[in-house]
Amino acid sequence: MTSPNIVWTRIDERLLHGQIRITWGKHTEANLILVANDDAAEGPNAAFMQAGMKASAGGEYAVRFFSIQKTIDVIHKASPKQRIFVLCNTPEDVARLVEGGVPITHCNVGNMHFHEGKKQIAKTVSVNSDDINAFERLVKCGVTCTVQNTPDQNPEDVLELAVSA
């Protein structure tokens, strides 16, 4: 089993959109964006979601939509030529990937919008106790978790922000 060439992992509630293609895709030099999300892969609105996200990719990247479990099952079959950008919309999904054996070492947190029951820890990131628990599980697995909306910003530790918020 080979280790997949994962060049970036990001949490963004919006999943694949223009900012991912324009800033993060170019910054990471990815050639494949893997949207690891159960709803986008096989939910009732999957076809609609995928169409919008494929349009956002602008044809510059190969795009795949896998459930969390399928990602765990097939990621190690990736070609070494694939420079994979893993995109999830929750820290729980990233934690499930890591606990399932996906070799993620860093998780970039971009957009987790404020909802009832969440507290804002950065301009674009709000968390609840379940999110914090998932980040703690990731850190225990050796994954660095940082908030950084765009590449020109300085990364900040998610858990440190959560404690100080």
**pLDDT, tens digit (0-9, with 9 covering 90-100), for 26-48:** 899 999 999 999 999 999 999 99
- Kindly report, residue by residue over 129-165, the tens digit of the pLDDT: 999 999 999 999 999 999 999 999 999 999 999 998 7
Strand partners of residue 127: 119
Q: Does residue 25 carry a pLDDT above 80?
A: yes
- As a whole number of angstroms, the distance between CA 18 and CA 30 comes to 15
Question: What per-residue confidence (pLDDT) applies to 1?
Answer: 61
- For 93-122, write each residue's pLDDT tens digit: 999 999 999 999 999 999 999 999 999 999
CATH level 3 topology of 6-164? Fructose Permease (3.40.35)
Structural contact between residues 112 and 124, judged by C-beta atoms closer than 8 angstroms: yes
Q: Are 67 and 38 in contact (CB under 8 A)?
A: yes
Pull the structure tokens for residue 2: 């080979």
Is residue 76 annotated as a catalytic residue, yes or no?
no
